[in-house]
Amino acid sequence: MTNIPTDLLRTLVAVVDLRSFTKAANSLGVTQPAVSAQIKRLQQLVGSDLFDRNGQSMMLTSHGERVVARARRLLSLNDEIVELGNGAARHELVVRIGTPSDFVASVLVELLAQLRSSRPDVRFSVRSEFHEPLLRQLHSEEIDLMVSLSPARPADARHCQEQEMVWVRGPTTGRLDGARPVPLVSYGDQCLFHQHAVRTLRKAGLDHELVFSGPSMHSLTNAVAAGLGYMVFTRQRASAMGLTIWEETPLPKPDPLYSVIAMREGGAREIYEQLADEIASVVHGPPEVQGRLYSMIEGSRKVISAA
């Protein structure tokens, strides 16, 4: 019988959530070589590679995705067992939230802080992932709440708003070279914006190339502003973030996407609904509300960078 230490699984989840061995090491208080050694040991125990090392980004293999999903459930049970001996923890509710966007995740910080002050018995666990893995995690009850864009209008979402999609470019980007593939900027192949851009171009018979793949929205908007390529984005968020919308573009018009806030079945429905409604008031609110929050986030980033 093979027993897998929970510290190996916790390291794996940290690497996946933070998308970096170095960041995972910092969050766990260990060295980067220690994290690498733990992942290697875990792969030996499960008898398979967990990460696809062929690409530039850290992508889970299909076996890795299954291991991560089960690791989250096992760690959740482990933490519940540990907390059984803590009288205060028995009455504390943990709401697990998944979102594929670092902008929404940043906005969530402000909202969760407000809700936390009014509900001290509730704490939050926020993870960032692409839409498809988050949808699977919601259905398997690994997360309680999902804030995401969806290519289709779901029937069971608490909130759903159609989002007009536009092309954004740098303010000084030159004319599109029709003889070359359309240069795209995105998170990569798993990114819903990237998939939507590729689908839009293919329907029009246009080729594309991914010229810049970044780890955060901040890096992507900088790449677009520098003129490296184009990106499909929601008009609402593009306006809120001050991005240059390519109104008279020769590129085909993207179909709309849907901004979705969905909850899992069961659980603390009252809390889930309250939180979903609070998030919707910002995510689905007017551009000026999002603009103020984004300006605040950008200001915080500049302060941190200067420190």
Domain ranges for the chain, please list them: 1-87, 92-160+257-307, 165-255
**Positions of E strands within the chain:** 51-52, 59-60, 93-99, 122-128, 145-150, 159-163, 165-169, 182-186, 208-213, 231-234, 244-245, 257-263
- Give the pLDDT confidence of 189-217 residue by residue, as tens digits: 888 999 999 999 999 999 999 999 988 88
Strands 159-163 and 244-245: what pairing? unpaired
Q: What are the tens digits of pLDDT across the range 254-273? A: 999 999 999 988 888 888 88
Question: How large is the average pLDDT for residues 149-170?
Answer: 92
Report the CATH architecture of 1-87.
Orthogonal Bundle (1.10)
- For range 52-66, the mean pLDDT: 75
Confidence at residue 298, expressed as pLDDT on a 0 to 100 scale: 47
Higher pLDDT: 203 or 177? It is: 203
Predicted local distance difference test score (pLDDT) of residue 196: 95
For the chain, percent of residues with pLDDT exceeding 90: 30
In terms of Cβ atoms closer than 10 Å to its own Cβ (0-12, 13-18, 19+), residue 256 is middle
Using the predicted structure, report yes or no on whether residue 229 has a pLDDT greater than 90.
yes
Q: Report if pTM > 0.75.
A: no
**Homologous superfamily in CATH for domain 165-255:** Periplasmic binding protein-like II (3.40.190.10)
Mean pLDDT of 150-173: 91
pLDDT, residue 106, reads 62
Helix 6-18 and helix 62-83, axial crossing angle in degrees, nearest 10: 120
Q: In the prediction, which pLDDT does 241 show? A: 79
Q: Which pLDDT belongs to residue 274?
A: 85
Return the pLDDT at 32.
Answer: 87
Q: Is the pLDDT of residue 113 over 60?
A: yes
Q: Any idea what DSSP says for residue 58?
A: -
% the chain with pLDDT above 70: 85
Mean pLDDT to the nearest integer, 153-182: 89
Confidence of residue 104 (pLDDT cuts 50, 70, 90): low
pLDDT tens per residue, range 70-85 = 888 888 888 777 766 6
Domain 92-160+257-307 part of CATH 3.40.50.1000: no
Torsion angle of the four alpha carbons 9, 11, 12, 13, in this order, in degrees rounded to the nearest 10: 90
pLDDT score, position 105: 60
Across 94-109, average pLDDT: 76
Q: Assess whether the region 92-160+257-307 and the region 165-255 belong to the same CATH fold.
A: yes
Backbone angles phi, psi at 3, to 5 degrees: -105, 130
Instruction: Return mean pLDDT, the chain.
Output: 83
Does residue 291 or residue 29 have the better pLDDT?
29
